[in-house]
Amino acid sequence: MKIYKCPICGNIITIIEGNIKPITCCGVDMEELLENTVDASQEKHVPFYEVKDDLILVKVGEVEHPMEEDHYIQFVMLTKDDDLLYIKKFNFNEKSEFKFEYVKGSKIYSYCNKHGLWSKIVQ
């Protein structure tokens, strides 16, 4: 699975299967988003989670991420082995947390409109 963003309009797409190149939007090639896994900035971006029963509560960062109009988490996503995909999209004024089905070994992504894509593996 790959995630791409248009550098002009900000459209974000996910390619679940296949290798289509180039992917274009607004007349230019879309940029593949590569995830970060270590957060060295003041704001926290790496997904944080707690497992309770058969659910996983995902929060963005151990310290709550800002959810302001010009700086916020646009979505969180949980994936597993190219056959499971959950996405929760946020508005800037919402809390950046969501409950997903607990799936050991899945990967959680979070996307900040200013600082990009982040990920963590579920243990």
Residue 5 shares a structural domain with residue 52: no
Residue 55 shares a structural domain with residue 107: yes
Q: Which domain holds residue 70?
A: 36-121
Question: Which DSSP symbol is given to 11?
Answer: -
Residue 105: band (very low, low, confident or very high) from pLDDT cuts 50, 70, 90: very high
For residues 75 and 118, the answer to whether their CB atoms sit within 8 Å is no
pLDDT at 61: 82
pTM score, two decimals? Answer: 0.88
Residue 115 shares a structural domain with residue 82: yes
pLDDT at 29: 96
Place of tokens 């929760």: 88
- Tell me the CATH number at 23: 2.20.28.100
pLDDT exceeds cutoff 60 at 97: yes
Q: How many domains does the chain have?
A: 2
pLDDT exceeds cutoff 70 at 55: yes
Residue 118: band (very low, low, confident or very high) from pLDDT cuts 50, 70, 90: very high
Residue 93 shares a structural domain with residue 58: yes
Residue 56 shares a structural domain with residue 79: yes
Residue 62 shares a structural domain with residue 10: no
Mean pLDDT, the chain, integer: 90
Residue 41: band (very low, low, confident or very high) from pLDDT cuts 50, 70, 90: low
Residue 63 shares a structural domain with residue 111: yes
Question: Which DSSP symbol is given to 33?
Answer: P
For residues 86 and 70, the answer to whether their CB atoms sit within 8 Å is no
Residue 9 shares a structural domain with residue 42: no
- Express as a percent the part of the chain with pLDDT over 70: 96
Residue 29 shares a structural domain with residue 48: no
Cα distances (Å, whole numbers) of residue 29 to 15, 55, 66, 103, 116: 14, 38, 30, 34, 18
pLDDT at 38: 76
pLDDT exceeds cutoff 60 at 107: yes
Residue 25 shares a structural domain with residue 45: no
